[in-house]
Amino acid sequence: MLDPSSGCGFSSKKMYHFGRVSMKIKLIPGDSAGTVTAFYMNSDTDSVRDELDFEFLGNRTGQPYTVQTNVYAHGKGDREQRVNLWFDPSKEFHTYSITWNRQQVLFAVDDVPIRVYKNNAAVGVAYPSAQPMRVYSTLWEGDDWATRGGMEKIDWSKAPFYAYYKDFDIEGCDVSSAADAACVADQRNWWEAPAYRQLSPEQARKYRWVRTNFMIYDYCTDKTRYPVPPRECLAGI
């Protein structure tokens, strides 16, 4: 719940290194402008933070919800991409997932890929592989930037705002004990299999469909921020 006095959030008890995390979420209905509902993984470190973000940016009634993804690696973020969801995410629950392995990070909505961040460490691009992460979700006020760049403010007369969660699931290496170091190094984990190192032809078709029809912002093509595209963009992320 979000009201004028506070937002809220929750986190996993344990930290995980590689694997897949998913949550079914039903977002704030109606006039949700200025609200941010986030579902993400974070390494709980400061200067060398790793983080994988879903941020759902509210909007005025009747306007589409935007989902922003971001990747922090070795303390560097600013890799935002935004996609308008092709359905009303406040009417029913939908599944949002992050699959993270040594080769790539895959963000998906109802198993439809919306973003892939490849491991290009070999060409000097930071990749979040060295640190375990905890799973978080938060609901908070972001009306200084979230909706139309901060032009649309929260209508507090509509508060409290509610987002709903169920069916949290994670399969990954729990690093709470020394024995789990072997799990992290084990190439036989299902998420390290060849099928999860790149998109299948069907996934690639859906990925192109999303990015062709629903992508509204990609930092890779923002020449104001990046006159020279970042190296990961040139590497074909």
Q: How many helices (H) and strands (E) does the chain have?
A: 3, 11
Distant-in-sequence, close-in-space partners of 189: CB < 8 Å, separation ≥ 6: 18, 19, 101, 173, 183
51 is catalytic: yes
Distant-in-sequence, close-in-space partners of 125: CB < 8 Å, separation ≥ 6: 230, 231, 232, 235
Structure tokens at 21: 């995390």
232 is catalytic: no
24 closest CA partner among 57, 51, 54: 54
Q: Extract long-range pairs of 57-61: CB within 8 Å, 24+ residues apart.
A: 57/82, 57/142, 57/146, 57/147, 58/27, 58/28, 58/31, 58/32, 58/33, 58/34, 58/146, 58/147, 59/32, 59/33, 59/147, 59/152, 60/31, 60/33, 60/147, 60/152, 61/30, 61/31
- Write out the catalytic residue numbers: 51, 55
